[in-house]
């Protein structure tokens, strides 16, 4: 019995001496595990920050490249516009330098063959107009690098003839240089045929016409007013002093409620034989209105 007590007492003494060291080592191990977990989290955060820095640096380089390209864009646009003008001028010079086509031996060419068989350009535009709107259309090139603009508006149906609509047109001939200043980009693109057309308010159209007519390099060819049958084409034919013939076909269609007009404008430009007299431009519209309607003021 005494021996058992001695052994138990020895075991308790040994446990009491060893326990502090065991608890200290266990606490140290927990601290090391916690420090290792913190180090892993810090490493992951650093890797994420490095990836974000790499992405930001790539975005900065891309932004610098875009800014450099944007700085070059106006210069490239100017060079492209100048190249187009040079190409148009060279094409005009070439067309004037080429001899006219000769008829085969033993046959006589009709006098208007150049006008009817050699179109220079043709354009077609469809627009939906309210009564206070105007469509701006590029009608093709003229001589010496000039272009022709057309503005067409709808004045409403005629009072006595509901099957007719009153249309108003303005033909302007101008050089590219007139519209090369900032703010005229849309009109220049329409004149060159680079844009299909533009719909303007009546006030905008009046300001545009007034501004262009104040420039000496702009020529007003004609300002016809016509009564066009609904659903049928009507033609305005015009011979200019520089040897061109403009043929504009207007095809109007009223909406079911009569509040808007779907207008199709088709224009062709043809070169005429050399003139034999210095007649004024010949404009042949469809019959004019018997009683022009009054345009309401906004």
pLDDT at 91: 64
pLDDT at 105: 41
pLDDT at 111: 39
pLDDT at 277: 53
Residues contacting residue 248 through CB under 8 Å, at least 6 positions apart: 139, 150, 169, 235, 236, 237, 238, 265, 266, 267
User: pLDDT (tens digit, 0 to 9) for every residue of the chain, 298 residues total?
Assistant: 667 777 777 777 776 776 677 777 777 888 888 888 888 888 888 888 888 888 888 888 888 887 777 777 777 777 777 777 777 776 666 555 544 444 444 333 343 433 344 667 788 888 888 888 898 888 888 777 788 888 998 877 666 777 888 888 999 888 877 777 676 667 777 777 777 788 888 888 898 888 888 888 888 888 898 888 888 888 888 888 878 888 889 888 888 877 888 888 888 888 877 655 554 545 555 444 444 444 444 3
pLDDT at 254: 83
Q: Which residue has the tokens 């916690």?
A: 34
Q: Which residue has the tokens 């006219």?
A: 100
Domain extents for the chain?
A: 1-97, 119-274
User: What is the C-alpha separation between 255 and 261, in angstroms, rounded?
Assistant: 6
Instruction: Characterize 46-79 residue by residue with b for buried, 16 or more Cβ atoms within 10 angstroms of its Cβ, and e for exposed.
Output: eeeeeeeeeeeeeeeeeeeeeeeeeeeeeeeeee
């Amino acid at each position: 019995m005494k021996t058992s007590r001695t052994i138990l007492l020895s075991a308790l003494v040994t446990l009491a001496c060893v326990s502090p060291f065991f608890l200290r080592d266990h606490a140290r191990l927990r601290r090391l595990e916690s420090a290792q977990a913190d180090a892993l989290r810090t490493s992951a955060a650093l890797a994420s920050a490095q990836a974000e820095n790499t992405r930001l640096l790539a975005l900065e380089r891309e932004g610098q490249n875009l800014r450099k390209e944007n700085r070059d864009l106006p210069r490239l646009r100017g060079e492209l516009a100048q190249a187009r003008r040079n190409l148009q001028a060279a094409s005009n010079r070439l067309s004037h330098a080429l001899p006219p086509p000769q008829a085969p031996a033993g046959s006589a060419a009709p006098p208007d063959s150049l006008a009817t068989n050699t179109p220079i350009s043709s354009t077609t535009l469809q627009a939906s107009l309210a009564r206070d709107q105007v469509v701006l259309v590029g009608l093709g090139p003229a001589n010496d690098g000039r272009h022709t603009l057309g503005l067409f508006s709808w004045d409403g149906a005629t009072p006595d003839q509901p099957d007719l609509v009153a249309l108003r047109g303005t033909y302007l001939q101008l050089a590219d240089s007139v519209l090369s200043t900032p703010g005229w980009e849309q009109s220049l693109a329409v004149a060159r045929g680079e844009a299909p057309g533009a719909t303007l308010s009546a006030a905008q159209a009046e300001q545009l016409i007034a501004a262009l007519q104040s420039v000496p390099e702009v020529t007003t060819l004609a300002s016809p007013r016509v009564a066009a049958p609904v659903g049928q084409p009507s033609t305005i034919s015009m011979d200019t002093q520089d040897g061109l013939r403009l043929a504009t076909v207007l095809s109007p269609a009223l909406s079911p409620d009569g509040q808007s007009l779907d207008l199709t404008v088709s224009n062709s430009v043809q070169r005429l034989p050399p003139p034999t007299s210095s007649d004024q431009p010949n404009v042949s519209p469809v019959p004019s209105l018997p009683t022009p309607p009054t345009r309401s003021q906004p």
